[in-house]
């Protein structure tokens, strides 16, 4: 693990102060050089857009390192101090930062993914459906590159803000009485196009926090758009299981994901 990188040294857009919660950061975890594949993944912990779950942060980057992938843990801004679009700005900036500085870490700028859990899965899927190519005329070289992730890993993700919404995440991101067009915009199953990157999805049927239909809706949208994906639905298991270490079934998902990442030339 390296020291956290401040995503906007001059202050994040819309920042409300200079306290730690006002300063989004990215913490690099680099694999052993002999194992490194040159791929990288930005990690978005969950927490309902109100906190960041520690077990979905550093341990995930360390697992990625074992697969030869550089992990970058994102500390993004949170409610109630912040709301949309600040979180998306942080995720997009994280992807741009890794891509623009890829040479410093020996990375391939065309193999930069994003991984998120729960509300962090919503953020990751937002990054994968609301990206832009960058501004070639920007003074900041980081802003010149694309914010599109090359793939997404979504673990028990919040996806929809309509029928199967996780009410807490929706409230924290866009408020209780958000206009219908904003609800539509951030119901990411409705924003999938042929340009959306490939995805790997994990959920459990027993998830009472975020219904599995969130992953199902996204998978259907990906299929309709012709975007490759892989999805695994486990029968049992709670919301928020992280790497699933205490469950013989759920603990298989990192290996399943590693196989998929290998197929996409990310893992060793």
Question: Is the per-residue pLDDT at 1 higher than 80?
Answer: no
Detail the DSSP E strand segments found in 76-122: 112-117
Question: Is the per-residue pLDDT at 127 higher than 90?
Answer: yes
Pairing of strands 229-234, 199-204: parallel
Look up residue 68 and give its two tokens: 């030869």
C-beta neighbour count of 3 within 10 angstroms: 8
Detail the DSSP E strand segments found in 88-147: 112-117
Q: What percent of the chain has pLDDT over 70?
A: 100
* pLDDT range class, residue 197, cuts 50, 70, 90: very high
Contact, 26 vs 70, CB < 8 A? Answer: no
Unique residue bearing structure tokens 């009410």: 167
Q: What is the pLDDT of residue 169?
A: 96
Q: Look at phi and psi of residue 39 and say left if phi exceeds 0, alpha if psi is from -120 to 50, else beta.
A: beta
Q: What is the pLDDT of residue 64?
A: 98
Tell me the DSSP string of 44-96.
E--STTTS--GGGSHHHHHHHHHTT-EEEEEE---TTT--TTHHHHHHHHHHH
Across 158-179, average pLDDT: 93
Question: Is the per-residue pLDDT at 143 higher than 90?
Answer: yes
* pLDDT range class, residue 163, cuts 50, 70, 90: confident
Question: Is the per-residue pLDDT at 211 higher than 90?
Answer: yes
Contact, 90 vs 5, CB < 8 A? Answer: no
Q: Look at phi and psi of residue 257 and say left if phi exceeds 0, alpha if psi is from -120 to 50, else beta.
A: alpha
Question: Is the per-residue pLDDT at 133 higher than 90?
Answer: yes
Q: What is the pLDDT of residue 17?
A: 97
Between CA 140 and CA 78 the distance in angstroms is: 25
* pLDDT range class, residue 165, cuts 50, 70, 90: confident
* pLDDT range class, residue 2, cuts 50, 70, 90: confident
Between CA 52 and CA 46 the distance in angstroms is: 6
45-95: per-residue pLDDT in tens?
A: 999 999 999 999 999 999 999 999 999 999 999 999 999 999 999 999 999
């Amino acid at each position: 693990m390296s020291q956290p990188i401040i995503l906007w040294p001059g202050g994040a857009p819309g920042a409300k102060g200079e306290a730690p919660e006002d300063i989004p950061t990215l913490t690099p975890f680099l694999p052993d050089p002999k194992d490194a594949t040159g791929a990288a993944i930005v990690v978005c912990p969950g927490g309902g857009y109100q906190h960041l779950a520690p077990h979905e942060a550093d341990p995930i980057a360390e697992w990625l390192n074992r697969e030869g992938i550089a992990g970058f843990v994102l500390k993004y801004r949170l409610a109630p101090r912040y709301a949309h679009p600040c979180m998306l700005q942080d995720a997009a900036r994280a992807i741009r930062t890794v891509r623009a500085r890829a040479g410093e870490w020996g990375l391939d700028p065309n193999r930069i993914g994003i991984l998120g859990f729960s509300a962090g899965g919503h953020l990751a899927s937002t990054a994968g459906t609301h990206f832009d190519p960058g501004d070639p005329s920007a003074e900041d070289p980081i802003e010149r590159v694309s914010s599109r992730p090359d793939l997404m890993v979504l673990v028990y993700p919040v996806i929809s803000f309509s029928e199967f919404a996780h009410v807490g995440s929706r409230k924290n991101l866009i408020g209780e009485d958000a206009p219908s067009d904003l609800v539509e915009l951030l119901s990411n199953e409705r924003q999938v196009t042929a340009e959306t990157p490939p995805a790997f999805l994990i959920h459990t049927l027993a998830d009472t926090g975020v219904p599995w239909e969130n992953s199902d809706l996204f998978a259907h949208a990906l299929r309709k758009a012709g975007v490759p994906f892989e999805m695994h639905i486990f029968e049992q298991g709670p919301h928020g299981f992280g790497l699933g270490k205490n469950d013989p079934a759920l603990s298989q998902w990192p290996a399943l994901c590693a196989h998929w990442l290998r197929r996409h030339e990310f893992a060793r």
